[in-house]
Structure 1
Amino acid sequence: MERARLAEPLQLVARRSEKGGAELSRLLAKQIWTQQDRQGLLHVLAQLLLDKECTLLIGRQFRPILLDLLERNAEAIKAGGQFNHDLHERLCVAMSKLIVVHPDVLPFALRYFKDTAPVFQRLFLESSDTNTVRYGRRRMKLRDLMEAAYRFLHQQPSVFRELWDWGACVPLLRSHDTLVRWYTSNCLALVTYMNDEHRLSFLKKIFNPEELIHFRLKLLEELQMQNVERALVLANSDTTLWHKENELQYTQGEIVSCDLSANVVAICGVVLPRLQLVSKEQESNINRFVMVESTCTNLQALAIAVAFQNPVLLEGPIGCGKTSLVEYLAATTGRIKPPHILKVQLGDQTDSKTLLGMYRCTDVPGEFVWQPGTLTQAVTKGHWILLEDIDYAPLDVISVLIPLLEKGKLLIPGRGDCLKVAPGFQFFATRRVFSCAGGWYRQQNSHAALLDKYWTKIRLDNMSKAELTENPQPGCIGFRVDSLDLK
C-alpha cells in the first residue's frame, strides 16, 4: 500500500490560508485519520486549488497529488448532470497558472478541453441564459479568463487555435479594461499567425506608447515570477514523499493510494491518469507482481517520463524485463490490450510502410484504400506504442521517427500528410545490450544511434540473486519473476 506524507505541507498551508485553514487545523489535531477524514482533506485541497491566491502554493506543496486534485474538480464541475460554469472558470484559471511549472497539467488540460467549453464560454451566452448559469458570489473577472486563454494558447498554439472559436473575443478589443484588451489582442495575434512586425503594428493601434511599455515590463515580471516558482517547486520536490507500509492504521498526515480519484493511479509515488477502470480479474492479475527494489526504481523512472510525455528508451540485456515494465505500467493505467497499447517487433525486414501504412486494393477492380499502420494509429488516436529492439530498425524507419521525436509530427511520404500527435500518445522503445568481458556493449553500426539525443533512457540490469529469491510482502505490488513475459 502506497502512502503519502502530508503533515508538513498541510501545516504550512493551514498557516497561510484563511480559507480552509480551520478545517486543515482540525485534521492536524487528530492522531488517527479515518477514510472520511482523508477524503475531506483531499476535498479541501481541491477547493483551495481553485482559489487563485492559493493555486501556486497548493501546486508547489502537493505536487505528487496535483493530478488527483485536478480530477476531483473536473468531476465536481459535471456533478449532478449540470455544468457548473463558476467552477469551470476557476479550474481554467488554476490550470493556466500551473501549466508552465507542472508538466503533467498540460496533458490534463488537453483531455479536459477535448469535450468541454472554452475558457471564455461566457462570451457565447445570451442574456437570457445568464439566469440559468451558476456563478459564485465572487465571479471570476474577465481579465483573469483572457489571461488564462492567452497562457493556454501561448503554450500550445497549434491545438487551441483550432479548438476554440476566437471570433467571440474580437469585441473585447473595445473593452474599457486595458488588461482585457491586452490579453485579447495578444491572443488574436497568435491565432492569426502575426509575425513580430505585424503584431507590434496591431498593438500600436490599440494601446498608446505608455501602455505598451507598461505591458512589456509586466511580461518581464511574469517571466521572472515563473522562474521563481520553478525554483520553489524544485526546492520542495521532496515535500510530499510516497512510501510503502503494511500497517492497517492510518496516522496523522498520511493518505493512501486507494484514497485517490478513480481517474488516477499512484505508481511508485508518481500519479498518472487512468484511461479506464480495470475489472477485478484484471486487477488481480496486475497485483500478482511483487515489487523488488530495482524494479520499483525503474518503474518510478518510467512513470516520471510518462508524466512528462517524454519518449522512453529502455536498455538492458535479454530477459531483464524491458517489455514487461512497459506492459505493467500500461495495465495499471487502464491500457490492458490493443489498441490502447500497441507493440511492434522490429527487425531487418521491417520497413516504414509497416509503421506508417499503405494503400491496399479492394474488391472493386482498380480501387485502393489507405490503411494506416500501427504508428499512424497510435499517433492519431493518442495510444501508447512500444517498438521492440529499436537497434534492429532499418534507416527508413529511423528517418520516420526523427521528426516524430523532435517536433511531435509524423510525416507520411507520398501522401503529403503531416500528422500532429494526439493527446495521450506515448512512445516507448527497447534496445538490447550484450555482456562482454565483465561489461555491457550495444550493437555496433546501428542506425538507432541517430535517435539517442531524443530519448529519456532507462537502464535495466538483471535481477540480483537476492531479488530473485525475495518473498512477496503483504500489500506490496510489483514483479514476480515466474509471471513475466520476458523479452
Structure 2
Amino acid sequence: MDDLPVYERTLSVPQLLEQLPSEISSLVRSASGNQYLHALALGALNTTLTESVFRNYEPVVVDLAARWLRSDISTDYIHVLSAFARVLPFAPYLRPFASQYALSPTGPQSALTDSKELTIRQLDTNSTRNLLLTLFRLLSFDLETFSKAVSPIQLQSLFPHQDRVVRYLAVRCFALYMHAADAATENMLRVNTGTDPIEGEWEEITIDYRLLGLWEERRWASLESSIRNTRASRSDTDAMKLIDDTRDFFTSRSADICGVLIPRLKDAHPSPSSVVETPTATANLRRIATSLLGFKPILLVGLPNAGKTTLIDHIAAKMGQSESMVTLHLNEQTDAKSLLGMYATSSASGSFSWQPGVLTKAAREGRWLLIEDLDRAPSEVLGLILPIIERGELTIASRRERIKCAEGFKIIATMKSSYNIAGEEIAPTTSMLGNRLWQRVPVTSLPVEEMRDVILQKFSLLESRVPTIMDVYGRICAAFHGSLAIKGSQGRTPGFRDLIKLCSRLNHRLQRIGAKTGYEPTPEGVDDEILLDIVDVFLKYIPDKSMQMSLASVVSEALQISPPKSTILP
C-alpha cells in the first residue's frame, strides 16, 4: 500500500491506528472525551493520514478542525494549512475556519502576507514545496478568500530559487493570484523553469509537475469516490454514537444541532431555547442543519404553524446568531430602497449622508437574514436579493458600490405550503424569480402525539387536562378542515402555535390560583374562564358571529359544559 499515492490509500480504522504515531494511536484506542478528540485532531495533521481521518471520522470533523485553530496544537502551521487544503473541496463548510487561520493577523503564518520581509525564503526547500502546494490548493479552491494569505512579492522572490519544483509552484500561485491568462502563465513558466520535465515528489510518488493540474484532478476524483463510499456505508446509528460519545467535550466553536456539527464563526455559548426535540422536530432540525453546511440560501417550506420560524430561532440560538439575526416580513408594499439604504439629513450638520438599510448592514457584517413569507415579496425585492444568492455580493447601483457579503452571512427564507381539495399537502409555485438557486428544506408538522409530549414537557401543571385540551384542539381542527365556509371566511386555520398560546394561558391561570400539581380541585368558574380562553385563541378572529357560536358549542361539548354556557362569548 505504501507504493500508492497518499490519496489512494483507503485505510480502515484499524489500519489508520497502525499508521498513527504510537503515542497518538494509544490515546485514540484508550482515551475518551477531550483527550480522544485532541488525539484525533493531532493525527489528522499528519499529511499522509489527513484524508483517512476525514473519511473515518467525518461526523466530528468540524470539532477536529476547530481544535486546529487553538494555540495548544503544537505543530507546524504548514501542517495545519495543508490539512485544511486537503479536505476543503470535500468539506467546504470548513472554509470559515481555514480562512480565519490563514488570514489571522497574529497567527504564525501572518508573516507571509508581509511584502517587506521575504520570510518565505527562510524556509528549507521541502517546507517551501509543501507550503506552495498548500497555497496552490487553497487558491484553486477559493481565490478571492485565500489570495489575501500571501504577498505576490513573497511569491516572486522564489522565481530564482535553486529548486525547479519551488519555482514552478511559485509561478503557478502567482499566476492564480494575478488572474493571469493561460498564455501568460505558460510564458512565465517557460522563462522561469524552462521546457524540460520538472520531476519531484508529490503525495509520496514522483511526478512531472508540468502535469500537476491533471494529477490534482485525479486526486480529487479518487478522494470524492472513496469519501462517497464511506458515507454510504456509515449508518446513522454509527454516526450518532460517535457524536453522543463526544458531545460533552466539543469546543465552543462547534455547534451541535441534533447530531449535525456546524462551525461557529466565533466563540459563543448557546442561548437557551424552548424547543422540545421530539422525533419530528429533531428530523426537521437535522435537515436544516445539514443545509446550513452548504452555501446556498435556504428556503423552508411547510404548512402554517409547522414551526419554521421557531426552528430557525432555535438554531440561531445554538449558533450564537440570535442577537444579530435580522428578520424581514415582506409584503407587496415592501420598498426595495429601504432595504438597501437611502440618503438622509444629518441632525448635526444638516447635510445628506448615506444610511445603509438592513440588508446592506446584514451583508456587510456577516449576519443571518431571515425572510418571512418569501412568496409574498414583490419582484423588485427578489431582484435585489438575486445577485446576493448568485454571486455572494450586493450591488448598490446609485452609489456604484459593490459589497462582498462577509463571512457568516446567510439568507434563510420561509414559504407556506397548503392543502389541495383532496386534503393533500402541496408545495407553493416554483415560478418564483431565482427559484433554482434556493436549497429547499421541507418542514414537517408535528403529529398529535408529539404535540401532547411537548405540552407535557413545557406545561407540567396541565398534565391532568392534556387529554381534554387535545380533544378540544382535534374537534376544532376537524371543524375547520371540514367546512370550506369557515376557512374561506378568515383565511387561516388553527395550528400548533395557537395550541401553545392556549396552554401558556391555562398554565398561568392555574399558577395564579396556587396550583402545585394541576390535580387539585379548582374554584367554581375556572371552567368558564378556560372556555373563554379557548374561544379567544381559536375563534375570536372569525368575523361571522354564527360560526363563532357553532364552534363554541363544539368546544363546550368537549369540555362537558352545559350548552347555555357556550353562549358566553367575549
Aligned to 1:371: 355
Contact 1:312-1:427 within 8 A present in 2 as well: yes
Contact 1:92-1:119 within 8 A present in 2 as well: no
Measure, in 1, the Cα distance between the counterparts of 2:322 and 2:156: 46
Aligned-residue offset at 1:373: 1.3
Measure, in 2, the Cα distance between the counterparts of 1:367 and 1:244: 60
Measure, in 1, the Cα distance between the counterparts of 2:364 and 2:245: 37
Using CA pairs below 8 Å that are at least 6 residues apart, which structure has the higher relative contact order?
Answer: 1
Residue of structure 1 aligned with 2:407, choices 401, 409, 423:
423
> 1:59 aligns to what SS in structure 2?
helix
Contact 1:276-1:335 within 8 A present in 2 as well: no
Deviations 1:242-292 (A, max 9, x none): 6899xxxxx99962311111221221221112355666xx74x32x42212
Deviations 1:67-116 (A, max 9, x none): 11111121135x8xxxx6x5322101111111122122222212333424
Measure, in 2, the Cα distance between the counterparts of 1:353 and 1:398: 12
Aligned to 1:74: 69
Q: Which amino acid aligns with 1:465?
A: V
> 2:158 aligns to what SS in structure 1?
helix
Residue of structure 2 aligned with 1:354, choices 328, 338, 342:
338
Q: Is the alpha carbon distance of 1:159 and 1:277 closer, same or farther for their aligned partners in structure 2, counting shifts above 3 Å?
A: closer
Measure, in 1, the Cα distance between the counterparts of 2:293 and 2:255: 12
Residue of structure 2 aligned with 1:263, choices 225, 248, 253:
253
> 2:295 aligns to what SS in structure 1?
coil
Measure, in 2, the Cα distance between the counterparts of 1:154 and 1:322: 37
Deviations 1:273-328 (A, max 9, x none): 2355666xx74x32x42212222122111111111232100011211111111111
Gaps of 5+ in 2: 1-10, 200-207, 458-495, 505-570
Residue of structure 2 aligned with 1:435, choices 394, 414, 419:
419
Contact 2:119-2:154 within 8 A present in 1 as well: no
Q: Is the alpha carbon distance of 1:473 and 1:105 closer, same or farther for their aligned partners in structure 2, counting shifts above 3 Å?
A: farther
Aligned to 2:26: 23
Q: Is the alpha carbon distance of 1:128 and 1:414 closer, same or farther for their aligned partners in structure 2, counting shifts above 3 Å?
A: closer
> 2:261 aligns to what SS in structure 1?
strand
Q: Where is the helix percentage greater, Structure 1 or Structure 2? A: 2
Aligned to 2:452: 469
Residue of structure 1 aligned with 2:313, choices 327, 335, 339:
327
Contact 2:332-2:377 within 8 A present in 1 as well: yes
Aligned to 1:458: 441
Measure, in 2, the Cα distance between the counterparts of 1:39 and 1:71: 13
Q: Which amino acid aligns with 2:217?
A: L
Structure number with greater Rg is 2
Aligned to 1:397: 381
1:482 aligns with 2:500: yes
Measure, in 2, the Cα distance between the counterparts of 1:252 and 1:268: 13
Aligned to 1:3: none
**TM-score normalised by the chain length of structure 2:** 0.70
Aligned-residue offset at 1:346: 0.5
Aligned to 2:77: 88
Measure, in 2, the Cα distance between the counterparts of 1:473 and 1:150: 56
Contact 1:118-1:164 within 8 A present in 2 as well: no
Aligned-residue offset at 1:23: 0.5
Deviations 1:127-165 (A, max 9, x none): 9999xx9x9xx9971101011111112222122334542
Gaps of 5+ in 1: 1-7, 28-35, 246-250
Q: Is the alpha carbon distance of 1:202 and 1:185 closer, same or farther for their aligned partners in structure 2, counting shifts above 3 Å?
A: same
Measure, in 1, the Cα distance between the counterparts of 2:373 and 2:104: 37
Q: Which amino acid aligns with 1:257?
A: R
Question: How many percent of aligned residue pairs carry the same amino acid?
Answer: 24
Measure, in 1, the Cα distance between the counterparts of 2:55 and 2:40: 12
Aligned to 2:280: 294
Residue of structure 1 aligned with 2:181, choices 195, 203, 212:
195
Residue of structure 1 aligned with 2:432, choices 439, 449, 456:
449
Q: Is the alpha carbon distance of 1:166 and 1:19 closer, same or farther for their aligned partners in structure 2, counting shifts above 3 Å?
A: farther
Q: Could you tell which deviates more after superposition, 111-120 or 258-267?
A: 111-120
Q: Which amino acid aligns with 1:17?
A: L
Aligned to 2:220: 226
Measure, in 2, the Cα distance between the counterparts of 1:69 and 1:252: 13
Q: Is the alpha carbon distance of 1:253 and 1:459 closer, same or farther for their aligned partners in structure 2, counting shifts above 3 Å?
A: closer
Measure, in 2, the Cα distance between the counterparts of 1:240 and 1:140: 40
Measure, in 2, the Cα distance between the counterparts of 1:26 and 1:161: 40
Number of residue equivalences: 442
Aligned-residue offset at 1:187: 1.3
Q: Could you tell which deviates more after superposition, 288-297 or 421-430?
A: 288-297
Aligned-residue offset at 1:216: 3.8
Q: Is the alpha carbon distance of 1:222 and 1:173 closer, same or farther for their aligned partners in structure 2, counting shifts above 3 Å?
A: same
Aligned to 1:14: 17
Measure, in 2, the Cα distance between the counterparts of 1:322 and 1:366: 44
Measure, in 2, the Cα distance between the counterparts of 1:291 and 1:253: 16
Aligned-residue offset at 1:204: 1.4
Give me the CA root mean square deviation: 3.5
